Amino acid sequence: MFSAKPFDAALYSTLSLAMAFSGPWFTAEQLQMANKVCLWAFGLDWLVDYVATSPSEVDEIARRCLATAAGAPPTVDDDLTRLLADIRDELAASPAFAVLGPVWRDELQRMLQAMLKEWRWKSAKTAPTFDEYLGNADNLGFSFAFAAHWLHTTGPDIPADLGQVREASWAVQRVIRLLNDLGTYERDVSWGDLNALLLGTSRAEVERRIAELAARSRELIAPLRPAHPELAGYLERQMDFSAGFYQVADYWGTL
């Protein structure tokens, strides 16, 4: 699944550095799941955005992934569902899985639905509005990866404020979606991807929205600190890492 040229050494090292920067208080074992799920999501993104040639192919990818996440055996000779099954089984061993497992599966479904929506926009050459595009930020996959990390690092005492944690995650995801667009504009143009700057929105306007969304994200993160200091810090540092990283680099290699 990772044999395509854009999966170069820089992608792997940068992913692991992003996780390490975002949670320096976590052990390597605790960060392992975030690394694995992020890498899997990059493989999914590649298959959906650049390999699939029809909406039925994307629907089939989504069907296989959702079935696997729900407990079905992986498809024979399918690296995507084989790796997802490994992730699922490892997460299922967590004492938090009974409560956070459904959250993880819901985030997977949200991501897949958002990827399909973006695929259809691009296929039909129908540009969404800026707000429609931002509202589809689940296609980035940040909240899906965060849900896996949350599940993997949480003990048997499950927080009661699941909705607050998820809302903060979605807010950070929107910030990173736009930071990514500012940093990858040239690549998105050459690869034929959607980008906020291709929707009639100026760079200055995108930067203004990022500032507003980042401020809102910090407001949502702040109440989580007393009960969930590590998760709150991880969310904020993911956002701050992206703010610096996308000014100088990108995850993907060249086509």
pLDDT tens digits for 48-103? 999 999 999 999 999 999 999 999 999 888 999 999 999 999 999 999 999 999 99
- Within a domain: residue 2? no
What pLDDT digit, counting tens, does each position of 127-163 carry? 999 999 999 999 999 999 999 999 999 987 776 689 9
Structural domain includes residue 69 = yes
Burial (CB < 10 A; 0-12, 13-18, 19+), residue 186, is: exposed
Domain, as residue range, for 137: 9-245
Residue 220 has pLDDT above 90, yes or no: yes
Residue 155, pLDDT score = 81
Task: Write the pLDDT tens digit of every residue in 204-218.
Answer: 999 999 999 999 999
User: Where residue 190 sits, what CATH number does that domain have?
Assistant: 1.10.600.10
For residue 70, give the 3-state DSSP assignment: coil
Give every CB contact of residue 47 below 8 A, 6+ residues apart in sequence.
1, 61, 80
Distance CA 147, CA 162 (A): 11
Looking at the domain assignment, is residue 3 inside a domain?
Answer: no
Quick check: is 170 in a domain? yes
Place of tokens 């799941």: 33
CB 213 within 8 A of CB 173: no
Alpha-carbon gap, residue 176 to 241, rounded angstroms: 9
Average pLDDT, the chain: 94
168 — pLDDT class (breaks 50, 70, 90): very high
pLDDT of residue 31: 96
Cα separation values, 124 from 41, 55, 117, 127, Å: 24, 11, 11, 9
Give residues with Cβ within 8 angstroms of 84, minimum separation 6. Answer: 40, 65, 68, 69, 74
The pLDDT of residue 159 is: 66
Q: Is residue 255 part of a domain?
A: no
Q: What is the pLDDT of residue 254?
A: 82
Q: How many domains does the chain have?
A: 1
Q: Is residue 212 part of a domain?
A: yes
> Does residue 192 form part of some domain?
yes
Residue 214: both structure tokens together: 């980042």
Q: Are 82 and 158 in contact (CB under 8 A)?
A: no
Domain for residue 217, yes or no?
yes
Kindly report, residue by residue over 4-14, the tens digit of the pLDDT: 899 999 899 99
Per-residue pLDDT band at 41 (split at 50, 70, 90):
very high
